Structure 1
Amino acid sequence: MALAADWDVSKVSSNLGVFALSDAEMAERQITVTPIGELDLPTGEIIACDPLVSDIETPALSRKVEPGRYPVSLLEARGRVAAAVLRFSPGAPVRWELATVPGEDVAALKGDEVYGYPVDAGLGSFMDKTAIVLMSDEQDKLKYGDYYGEVLAAEFAPNQDRFVLHHPVAGNPLNIAMFGSGWGDGSYPSFWGLDAGGEPLLLMTDFGVLENADGRETR
Protein backbone atom coordinates (compact mmCIF):
# COMPACT_ATOMS: atom_id res chain seq x y z
CA MET A 1 0.00 0.00 0.00
CA ALA A 2 1.34 3.45 -0.83
CA LEU A 3 2.34 5.76 1.99
CA ALA A 4 0.52 8.99 2.66
CA ALA A 5 2.10 11.69 0.52
CA ASP A 6 3.19 13.85 3.49
CA TRP A 7 4.71 11.04 5.59
CA ASP A 8 8.42 10.30 5.41
CA VAL A 9 10.41 8.06 7.74
CA SER A 10 13.13 10.73 8.01
CA LYS A 11 10.59 13.14 9.49
CA VAL A 12 10.07 10.99 12.57
CA SER A 13 13.74 10.31 13.31
CA SER A 14 16.59 12.64 12.42
CA ASN A 15 19.09 10.04 13.60
CA LEU A 16 19.00 7.39 10.90
CA GLY A 17 22.20 8.72 9.36
CA VAL A 18 24.21 7.76 12.45
CA PHE A 19 25.11 4.43 10.83
CA ALA A 20 26.93 6.18 8.00
CA LEU A 21 29.31 7.95 10.42
CA SER A 22 32.93 6.94 10.86
CA ASP A 23 34.36 6.12 14.28
CA ALA A 24 35.98 9.54 14.34
CA GLU A 25 32.71 11.27 13.51
CA MET A 26 30.91 9.31 16.22
CA ALA A 27 33.54 10.40 18.74
CA GLU A 28 33.31 14.01 17.60
CA ARG A 29 29.55 13.90 18.09
CA GLN A 30 30.04 12.39 21.56
CA ILE A 31 28.30 9.11 20.74
CA THR A 32 29.69 5.95 22.31
CA VAL A 33 28.97 2.49 20.92
CA THR A 34 28.64 -0.16 23.65
CA PRO A 35 28.36 -3.83 22.59
CA ILE A 36 26.35 -5.83 25.14
CA GLY A 37 26.38 -9.35 23.66
CA GLU A 38 24.36 -11.61 21.39
CA LEU A 39 20.60 -12.09 21.41
CA ASP A 40 19.18 -15.57 20.81
CA LEU A 41 16.35 -15.53 18.23
CA PRO A 42 15.26 -19.15 17.73
CA THR A 43 12.13 -18.18 15.79
CA GLY A 44 13.33 -14.94 14.18
CA GLU A 45 10.16 -13.23 15.46
CA ILE A 46 11.21 -10.19 17.46
CA ILE A 47 9.38 -8.37 20.22
CA ALA A 48 10.52 -4.81 20.96
CA CYS A 49 8.92 -3.57 24.16
CA ASP A 50 9.20 -2.41 27.75
CA PRO A 51 9.74 -5.87 29.26
CA LEU A 52 8.16 -4.96 32.59
CA VAL A 53 4.83 -3.77 31.20
CA SER A 54 4.45 -6.44 28.51
CA ASP A 55 3.05 -9.95 28.63
CA ILE A 56 2.49 -13.03 26.50
CA GLU A 57 -0.08 -11.12 24.43
CA THR A 58 2.52 -8.58 23.26
CA PRO A 59 2.82 -8.99 19.48
CA ALA A 60 6.05 -9.62 17.60
CA LEU A 61 7.08 -7.25 14.82
CA SER A 62 5.55 -7.99 11.45
CA ARG A 63 8.89 -8.41 9.69
CA LYS A 64 10.79 -11.58 10.61
CA VAL A 65 14.50 -12.41 10.34
CA GLU A 66 16.41 -15.65 9.94
CA PRO A 67 16.66 -17.51 13.27
CA GLY A 68 20.07 -17.16 14.88
CA ARG A 69 22.15 -15.23 17.40
CA TYR A 70 22.74 -11.56 16.66
CA PRO A 71 24.81 -8.84 18.35
CA VAL A 72 23.17 -6.03 20.27
CA SER A 73 24.83 -2.68 20.87
CA LEU A 74 23.82 0.59 22.46
CA LEU A 75 24.47 4.10 21.21
CA GLU A 76 25.04 6.18 24.33
CA ALA A 77 25.14 9.97 24.63
CA ARG A 78 24.55 12.55 27.36
CA GLY A 79 24.95 9.79 29.93
CA ARG A 80 21.96 7.89 28.58
CA VAL A 81 21.07 5.09 26.19
CA ALA A 82 20.22 7.00 23.02
CA ALA A 83 19.42 4.02 20.78
CA ALA A 84 19.49 0.24 20.85
CA VAL A 85 20.71 -1.66 17.79
CA LEU A 86 20.17 -5.30 16.84
CA ARG A 87 22.53 -6.08 13.95
CA PHE A 88 21.88 -8.86 11.39
CA SER A 89 24.50 -8.09 8.73
CA PRO A 90 27.31 -5.54 8.30
CA GLY A 91 26.97 -2.40 6.24
CA ALA A 92 25.13 0.90 6.23
CA PRO A 93 21.42 0.81 5.37
CA VAL A 94 20.38 2.30 2.05
CA ARG A 95 16.77 2.78 3.09
CA TRP A 96 14.65 2.64 6.21
CA GLU A 97 11.31 1.17 7.16
CA LEU A 98 9.25 1.84 10.28
CA ALA A 99 8.94 -1.31 12.38
CA THR A 100 5.31 -2.19 12.95
CA VAL A 101 3.22 -4.94 14.50
CA PRO A 102 0.15 -6.55 12.91
CA GLY A 103 -2.72 -4.08 12.76
CA GLU A 104 -0.52 -1.00 12.32
CA ASP A 105 -0.80 0.61 8.89
CA VAL A 106 1.99 3.01 7.92
CA ALA A 107 -0.23 4.30 5.11
CA ALA A 108 -2.50 5.82 7.75
CA LEU A 109 0.24 7.99 9.26
CA LYS A 110 0.52 11.69 8.52
CA GLY A 111 3.19 14.30 9.11
CA ASP A 112 5.33 13.34 12.09
CA GLU A 113 2.99 10.62 13.38
CA VAL A 114 4.76 7.39 14.21
CA TYR A 115 4.12 4.01 15.77
CA GLY A 116 6.23 3.05 18.75
CA TYR A 117 6.09 0.93 21.86
CA PRO A 118 5.02 2.38 25.22
CA VAL A 119 7.52 2.54 28.08
CA ASP A 120 6.26 2.85 31.65
CA ALA A 121 9.13 1.28 33.62
CA GLY A 122 12.07 3.11 32.04
CA LEU A 123 13.23 0.09 30.04
CA GLY A 124 13.31 -1.09 26.45
CA SER A 125 14.17 -4.52 25.10
CA PHE A 126 14.62 -6.88 22.18
CA MET A 127 13.63 -10.53 22.55
CA ASP A 128 12.40 -13.54 20.65
CA LYS A 129 8.65 -14.04 20.98
CA THR A 130 9.28 -17.24 22.98
CA ALA A 131 11.35 -15.40 25.61
CA ILE A 132 8.43 -13.39 26.94
CA VAL A 133 6.61 -16.64 27.72
CA LEU A 134 9.56 -17.84 29.80
CA MET A 135 9.78 -14.54 31.61
CA SER A 136 6.06 -14.54 32.36
CA ASP A 137 6.28 -18.08 33.73
CA GLU A 138 9.21 -17.12 35.98
CA GLN A 139 7.42 -14.03 37.23
CA ASP A 140 4.48 -16.18 38.31
CA LYS A 141 6.87 -18.10 40.58
CA LEU A 142 8.13 -15.02 42.45
CA LYS A 143 7.16 -14.37 46.03
CA TYR A 144 6.03 -10.78 45.44
CA GLY A 145 5.74 -10.71 41.64
CA ASP A 146 8.30 -7.89 41.46
CA TYR A 147 10.47 -9.01 38.56
CA TYR A 148 12.76 -6.00 38.66
CA GLY A 149 13.28 -5.93 42.40
CA GLU A 150 13.55 -9.68 42.90
CA VAL A 151 15.48 -10.60 39.74
CA LEU A 152 16.71 -7.83 37.48
CA ALA A 153 18.09 -5.25 39.91
CA ALA A 154 21.06 -7.41 40.82
CA GLU A 155 21.77 -8.16 37.14
CA PHE A 156 21.61 -4.51 36.07
CA ALA A 157 23.82 -3.26 38.91
CA PRO A 158 27.23 -4.31 37.46
CA ASN A 159 26.45 -2.27 34.33
CA GLN A 160 25.44 0.88 36.24
CA ASP A 161 21.76 0.01 35.63
CA ARG A 162 22.19 0.68 31.90
CA PHE A 163 21.70 -2.77 30.38
CA VAL A 164 21.67 -6.53 30.86
CA LEU A 165 21.39 -9.66 28.73
CA HIS A 166 18.92 -11.47 30.94
CA HIS A 167 18.28 -15.22 30.89
CA PRO A 168 14.80 -15.90 32.32
CA VAL A 169 15.80 -19.52 32.99
CA ALA A 170 19.31 -20.30 34.18
CA GLY A 171 21.09 -22.62 31.74
CA ASN A 172 18.67 -21.86 28.91
CA PRO A 173 20.32 -19.89 26.06
CA LEU A 174 17.14 -17.92 25.42
CA ASN A 175 17.81 -14.38 26.58
CA ILE A 176 16.42 -10.85 26.55
CA ALA A 177 18.42 -7.70 25.79
CA MET A 178 17.21 -5.02 28.22
CA PHE A 179 18.40 -1.42 28.42
CA GLY A 180 17.48 1.99 29.73
CA SER A 181 15.05 3.93 27.54
CA GLY A 182 16.76 7.26 27.02
CA TRP A 183 14.89 9.94 28.95
CA GLY A 184 12.61 7.35 30.55
CA ASP A 185 8.91 6.71 30.03
CA GLY A 186 7.24 7.56 26.75
CA SER A 187 6.63 5.97 23.36
CA TYR A 188 9.59 5.05 21.16
CA PRO A 189 9.72 4.01 17.49
CA SER A 190 11.89 1.29 15.99
CA PHE A 191 13.22 1.18 12.43
CA TRP A 192 14.48 -1.49 10.08
CA GLY A 193 17.66 -0.53 8.24
CA LEU A 194 17.54 -2.31 4.87
CA ASP A 195 20.09 -3.12 2.17
CA ALA A 196 19.60 -2.52 -1.55
CA GLY A 197 17.69 -5.79 -1.86
CA GLY A 198 15.29 -4.92 0.93
CA GLU A 199 16.83 -7.32 3.45
CA PRO A 200 17.29 -6.12 7.05
CA LEU A 201 20.78 -5.15 8.14
CA LEU A 202 19.68 -3.92 11.55
CA LEU A 203 16.80 -3.00 13.83
CA MET A 204 17.15 0.24 15.80
CA THR A 205 15.01 1.74 18.55
CA ASP A 206 15.45 5.51 18.80
CA PHE A 207 15.01 6.87 22.34
CA GLY A 208 15.08 10.51 21.31
CA VAL A 209 18.36 11.49 22.98
CA LEU A 210 20.27 12.21 19.77
CA GLU A 211 19.27 15.01 17.45
CA ASN A 212 20.39 14.92 13.82
CA ALA A 213 22.64 11.95 14.67
CA ASP A 214 24.53 14.11 17.18
CA GLY A 215 24.94 13.54 20.90
CA ARG A 216 26.46 16.87 21.88
CA GLU A 217 24.56 19.12 24.29
CA THR A 218 24.85 22.20 22.07
CA ARG A 219 25.32 22.20 18.32
Structure 2
Amino acid sequence: MGLFDKFKKKENTEIDIQKAFEANLKYISNIDVNVNDIKRQFVKSNTRFYLTIGKVSCPTGNIIISDPLAYLPSNKFCPVLNVQIPFGEYPVEVAICRSDIIGIRMCTVKLKIKEAEAVSYSLAKPTNESAAFVAKDGVLSGFPVDAGMISICDEKVAKEYQDFIANWYKDNPNGNHYDDYFDKFFKESDEKYPQFQRQGGDFIEWENPKTKNKLIMVASGFGDGFYQSYWGYDSNNEICELIVPLVNPDLFGL
Protein backbone atom coordinates (compact mmCIF):
# COMPACT_ATOMS: atom_id res chain seq x y z
CA MET A 1 0.00 0.00 0.00
CA GLY A 2 3.00 2.30 -0.18
CA LEU A 3 4.74 4.51 2.37
CA PHE A 4 2.18 3.84 5.11
CA ASP A 5 3.37 0.23 5.24
CA LYS A 6 6.97 1.39 5.72
CA PHE A 7 6.30 3.44 8.85
CA LYS A 8 9.23 3.61 11.24
CA LYS A 9 9.08 4.73 14.84
CA LYS A 10 10.72 8.02 15.70
CA GLU A 11 13.39 7.88 18.36
CA ASN A 12 12.49 11.22 19.94
CA THR A 13 9.48 13.46 20.15
CA GLU A 14 8.81 16.81 21.70
CA ILE A 15 5.02 16.48 21.70
CA ASP A 16 3.31 17.23 25.02
CA ILE A 17 0.78 14.40 24.92
CA GLN A 18 -1.53 15.79 27.60
CA LYS A 19 -1.78 19.15 25.86
CA ALA A 20 -2.30 17.43 22.52
CA PHE A 21 -5.18 15.36 23.90
CA GLU A 22 -6.77 18.45 25.45
CA ALA A 23 -6.41 20.32 22.16
CA ASN A 24 -8.02 17.41 20.33
CA LEU A 25 -11.03 17.54 22.65
CA LYS A 26 -11.51 21.16 21.61
CA TYR A 27 -10.96 20.23 17.97
CA ILE A 28 -13.76 17.64 17.86
CA SER A 29 -16.24 20.00 19.52
CA ASN A 30 -15.50 23.07 17.38
CA ILE A 31 -18.38 24.58 15.44
CA ASP A 32 -16.16 25.19 12.43
CA VAL A 33 -13.35 23.34 10.68
CA ASN A 34 -10.58 24.41 8.34
CA VAL A 35 -10.88 22.93 4.86
CA ASN A 36 -7.09 22.65 4.49
CA ASP A 37 -6.80 20.76 7.79
CA ILE A 38 -9.19 18.14 6.43
CA LYS A 39 -7.58 18.05 2.99
CA ARG A 40 -4.18 17.30 4.55
CA GLN A 41 -5.62 14.23 6.23
CA PHE A 42 -6.71 12.62 2.97
CA VAL A 43 -3.22 12.03 1.63
CA LYS A 44 -0.95 9.00 1.44
CA SER A 45 2.38 9.10 3.25
CA ASN A 46 4.26 7.08 5.86
CA THR A 47 2.06 8.50 8.64
CA ARG A 48 -1.24 9.26 6.87
CA PHE A 49 -3.52 7.23 4.64
CA TYR A 50 -7.14 7.01 3.59
CA LEU A 51 -9.36 4.34 2.11
CA THR A 52 -12.97 3.59 1.28
CA ILE A 53 -14.42 1.34 3.98
CA GLY A 54 -17.89 0.75 2.57
CA LYS A 55 -21.14 2.34 1.51
CA VAL A 56 -24.18 3.85 3.20
CA SER A 57 -27.67 3.19 1.86
CA CYS A 58 -29.87 6.31 1.85
CA PRO A 59 -33.46 5.42 0.93
CA THR A 60 -34.83 8.62 2.51
CA GLY A 61 -31.79 10.92 2.37
CA ASN A 62 -32.23 11.85 6.03
CA ILE A 63 -28.92 11.22 7.80
CA ILE A 64 -28.30 10.15 11.39
CA ILE A 65 -24.85 10.18 12.99
CA SER A 66 -24.69 8.50 16.37
CA ASP A 67 -23.09 5.88 18.59
CA PRO A 68 -24.26 2.58 17.02
CA LEU A 69 -23.57 0.49 20.10
CA ALA A 70 -24.69 2.65 23.03
CA TYR A 71 -27.45 4.83 21.57
CA LEU A 72 -28.64 3.90 18.08
CA PRO A 73 -30.37 0.66 19.19
CA SER A 74 -32.68 2.66 21.48
CA ASN A 75 -32.86 5.77 19.25
CA LYS A 76 -31.38 7.83 22.10
CA PHE A 77 -29.12 10.79 21.21
CA CYS A 78 -29.63 10.10 17.50
CA PRO A 79 -29.98 13.51 15.83
CA VAL A 80 -31.36 13.60 12.29
CA LEU A 81 -29.56 16.23 10.23
CA ASN A 82 -31.81 18.99 8.95
CA VAL A 83 -30.50 18.80 5.38
CA GLN A 84 -31.79 16.01 3.16
CA ILE A 85 -29.49 14.52 0.53
CA PRO A 86 -30.61 12.77 -2.68
CA PHE A 87 -31.65 9.15 -2.36
CA GLY A 88 -28.93 6.67 -3.22
CA GLU A 89 -25.94 4.73 -1.95
CA TYR A 90 -22.78 6.64 -1.07
CA PRO A 91 -19.18 5.59 -0.38
CA VAL A 92 -17.51 6.35 2.94
CA GLU A 93 -13.82 7.18 3.22
CA VAL A 94 -11.77 7.27 6.41
CA ALA A 95 -8.56 9.25 6.91
CA ILE A 96 -6.12 7.34 9.12
CA CYS A 97 -2.92 8.30 10.92
CA ARG A 98 -0.22 6.24 12.59
CA SER A 99 2.57 7.12 14.98
CA ASP A 100 4.56 5.65 17.84
CA ILE A 101 2.80 8.15 20.13
CA ILE A 102 -0.87 7.39 19.49
CA GLY A 103 -0.70 4.25 17.37
CA ILE A 104 -3.23 3.89 14.55
CA ARG A 105 -6.21 6.25 14.78
CA MET A 106 -9.22 7.04 12.64
CA CYS A 107 -8.99 10.79 11.93
CA THR A 108 -11.96 11.85 9.79
CA VAL A 109 -14.94 9.96 8.39
CA LYS A 110 -16.24 11.26 5.06
CA LEU A 111 -19.53 10.42 3.35
CA LYS A 112 -18.90 11.29 -0.29
CA ILE A 113 -22.11 12.55 -1.90
CA LYS A 114 -20.60 13.99 -5.10
CA GLU A 115 -17.17 13.62 -6.69
CA ALA A 116 -16.49 17.36 -6.49
CA GLU A 117 -13.93 18.58 -3.95
CA ALA A 118 -15.07 20.48 -0.87
CA VAL A 119 -13.88 24.09 -0.71
CA SER A 120 -15.68 24.96 2.53
CA TYR A 121 -17.45 23.32 5.46
CA SER A 122 -20.52 24.29 7.44
CA LEU A 123 -21.70 22.85 10.75
CA ALA A 124 -24.32 20.12 10.23
CA LYS A 125 -27.31 20.90 12.42
CA PRO A 126 -30.03 18.55 13.64
CA THR A 127 -33.77 18.93 13.32
CA ASN A 128 -35.35 20.56 16.36
CA GLU A 129 -37.25 17.38 17.16
CA SER A 130 -34.25 15.06 17.10
CA ALA A 131 -31.45 17.15 18.64
CA ALA A 132 -29.39 15.28 21.21
CA PHE A 133 -29.52 18.26 23.59
CA VAL A 134 -31.50 21.48 23.84
CA ALA A 135 -30.22 24.66 25.51
CA LYS A 136 -32.12 27.78 26.51
CA ASP A 137 -31.09 29.52 23.31
CA GLY A 138 -31.88 26.60 20.99
CA VAL A 139 -30.84 23.11 19.97
CA LEU A 140 -27.23 21.96 20.13
CA SER A 141 -25.51 20.33 17.19
CA GLY A 142 -23.39 17.23 17.61
CA PHE A 143 -23.79 13.83 19.21
CA PRO A 144 -22.33 11.94 22.20
CA VAL A 145 -20.29 8.75 22.00
CA ASP A 146 -20.22 6.38 24.96
CA ALA A 147 -19.02 3.12 23.40
CA GLY A 148 -16.07 4.36 21.35
CA MET A 149 -17.84 4.04 18.01
CA ILE A 150 -19.71 6.25 15.53
CA SER A 151 -22.04 5.34 12.69
CA ILE A 152 -23.48 7.13 9.68
CA CYS A 153 -26.80 5.86 8.40
CA ASP A 154 -30.10 6.82 6.83
CA GLU A 155 -33.11 7.42 9.07
CA LYS A 156 -34.95 4.43 7.61
CA VAL A 157 -31.88 2.22 7.90
CA ALA A 158 -31.55 3.28 11.55
CA LYS A 159 -35.10 2.04 12.21
CA GLU A 160 -34.28 -1.22 10.46
CA TYR A 161 -31.15 -1.51 12.60
CA GLN A 162 -33.17 -0.94 15.76
CA ASP A 163 -35.64 -3.65 14.73
CA PHE A 164 -32.76 -6.01 13.99
CA ILE A 165 -31.16 -5.45 17.40
CA ALA A 166 -34.50 -5.86 19.19
CA ASN A 167 -35.13 -9.16 17.40
CA TRP A 168 -31.56 -10.28 18.05
CA TYR A 169 -32.07 -9.82 21.79
CA LYS A 170 -35.28 -11.86 21.63
CA ASP A 171 -33.16 -14.73 20.37
CA ASN A 172 -30.19 -13.89 22.61
CA PRO A 173 -31.68 -12.54 25.88
CA ASN A 174 -28.41 -12.94 27.77
CA GLY A 175 -26.20 -11.78 24.92
CA ASN A 176 -24.30 -8.61 24.10
CA HIS A 177 -24.78 -7.19 20.61
CA TYR A 178 -21.13 -6.20 20.27
CA ASP A 179 -19.35 -9.14 21.89
CA ASP A 180 -21.69 -11.78 20.51
CA TYR A 181 -22.51 -10.33 17.09
CA PHE A 182 -20.60 -7.31 15.76
CA ASP A 183 -17.21 -8.36 17.11
CA LYS A 184 -16.78 -10.96 14.37
CA PHE A 185 -17.32 -8.36 11.64
CA PHE A 186 -14.65 -6.10 13.12
CA LYS A 187 -12.24 -9.03 13.34
CA GLU A 188 -12.91 -9.84 9.68
CA SER A 189 -12.18 -6.20 8.81
CA ASP A 190 -8.93 -6.40 10.77
CA GLU A 191 -7.93 -9.54 8.88
CA LYS A 192 -8.62 -7.81 5.56
CA TYR A 193 -6.90 -4.49 6.39
CA PRO A 194 -4.54 -5.19 9.32
CA GLN A 195 -2.16 -2.35 8.46
CA PHE A 196 -4.88 0.31 8.69
CA GLN A 197 -6.53 -0.39 12.05
CA ARG A 198 -5.84 -1.56 15.55
CA GLN A 199 -6.02 -5.21 16.53
CA GLY A 200 -9.64 -6.30 16.63
CA GLY A 201 -10.75 -3.86 13.94
CA ASP A 202 -11.75 -0.20 13.78
CA PHE A 203 -14.28 -0.05 10.95
CA ILE A 204 -16.95 -2.07 9.16
CA GLU A 205 -19.68 -1.81 6.59
CA TRP A 206 -22.71 -3.62 7.98
CA GLU A 207 -25.49 -4.90 5.75
CA ASN A 208 -28.86 -5.63 7.30
CA PRO A 209 -29.42 -9.33 6.52
CA LYS A 210 -33.15 -8.74 6.00
CA THR A 211 -33.34 -5.47 4.06
CA LYS A 212 -29.79 -5.46 2.57
CA ASN A 213 -29.45 -1.76 3.43
CA LYS A 214 -26.01 -0.69 4.63
CA LEU A 215 -24.46 1.51 7.29
CA ILE A 216 -20.91 2.01 8.49
CA MET A 217 -19.32 1.93 11.93
CA VAL A 218 -15.96 3.52 12.77
CA ALA A 219 -13.96 3.69 15.99
CA SER A 220 -14.25 7.25 17.32
CA GLY A 221 -10.71 8.56 17.47
CA PHE A 222 -9.66 8.36 21.12
CA GLY A 223 -13.00 6.97 22.27
CA ASP A 224 -15.88 8.63 24.06
CA GLY A 225 -16.70 12.31 23.72
CA PHE A 226 -18.98 14.79 21.99
CA TYR A 227 -18.48 15.07 18.25
CA GLN A 228 -19.61 17.41 15.49
CA SER A 229 -20.25 16.87 11.79
CA TYR A 230 -20.00 19.25 8.85
CA TRP A 231 -21.40 19.54 5.34
CA GLY A 232 -18.79 20.05 2.65
CA TYR A 233 -19.61 22.46 -0.18
CA ASP A 234 -18.02 22.48 -3.63
CA SER A 235 -17.10 25.48 -5.78
CA ASN A 236 -20.73 25.73 -6.96
CA ASN A 237 -21.86 25.98 -3.32
CA GLU A 238 -23.52 22.57 -3.54
CA ILE A 239 -23.18 19.86 -0.89
CA CYS A 240 -20.63 17.27 -1.96
CA GLU A 241 -19.80 15.48 1.31
CA LEU A 242 -20.42 15.08 5.02
CA ILE A 243 -17.51 14.72 7.45
CA VAL A 244 -17.02 13.77 11.09
CA PRO A 245 -13.59 14.86 12.45
CA LEU A 246 -12.25 12.56 15.17
CA VAL A 247 -8.52 13.24 15.52
CA ASN A 248 -6.39 16.12 14.28
CA PRO A 249 -3.05 14.49 13.37
CA ASP A 250 -1.37 17.91 13.19
CA LEU A 251 -1.63 18.11 16.98
CA PHE A 252 0.52 15.00 17.31
CA GLY A 253 3.27 16.09 14.95
CA LEU A 254 2.16 13.90 12.04
Task: Give, in angstroms, the shift of residue 138 of structure 1.
Answer: 1.7
Structure 2 match to 1:186: 225
Q: Contact 1:162–1:180 (CA<8 Å) still a contact in 2? A: yes
Structure 1 match to 2:180: 150
Structure 2 match to 1:94: 119
Task: Count how many residue pairs are aligned between Structure 1 and Structure 2.
Answer: 197
> Aligned partners of 1:81, 1:185: CA distance in 2, in Å?
13
> Aligned partners of 1:152, 1:163: CA distance in 2, in Å?
11
CA 162–199 in structure 1, closer or farther in 2 if over 3 Å, else same: same
User: Which structure carries more relative contact order (alpha carbon 8 Å, separation 6+)?
Assistant: 1
> Aligned partners of 1:22, 1:49: CA distance in 2, in Å?
22
TM-score (norm 2): 0.69
- Specify every segment of 5 or more residues in structure 2 that has no aligned partner in the other structure, as ranges: 1-29, 99-103, 191-200
Q: Summarize deviations over 1:143-202 as a string: whole Å, max 9, x none.
A: 13522122211111122321111123x153211110100000001110100123432110
Structure 1 match to 2:203: 163
Task: Give, in angstroms, the shift of residue 60 of structure 1.
Answer: 1.4
**Is residue 42 of structure 1 aligned with residue 59 of structure 2?**
yes
Higher helix share: 2
Task: Give, in angstroms, the shift of residue 100 of structure 1.
Answer: 1.1
Structure 2 match to 1:196: 235
In percent, how many aligned pairs have the same letter?
26
**Is residue 218 of structure 1 aligned with residue 253 of structure 2?**
yes
Q: Summarize deviations over 1:44-83 as a string: whole Å, max 9, x none.
A: 1110111122233633111110000111010111301111
**Is residue 69 of structure 1 aligned with residue 86 of structure 2?**
no
CA 73–62 in structure 1, closer or farther in 2 if over 3 Å, else same: same
> Aligned partners of 1:15, 1:145: CA distance in 2, in Å?
43
**Is residue 59 of structure 1 aligned with residue 79 of structure 2?**
yes
TM-score (norm 1): 0.79
Instruction: Show the 5 A alignment for 1:108-127.
Output: 115-127=141-153
Q: Summarize deviations over 1:17-40 as a string: whole Å, max 9, x none.
A: 2454597xx235832102112211
Q: Which stretch has the larger CA shift, 79-88 or 48-57?
A: 48-57
For 2:126, give the aligned amino acid.
Answer: V
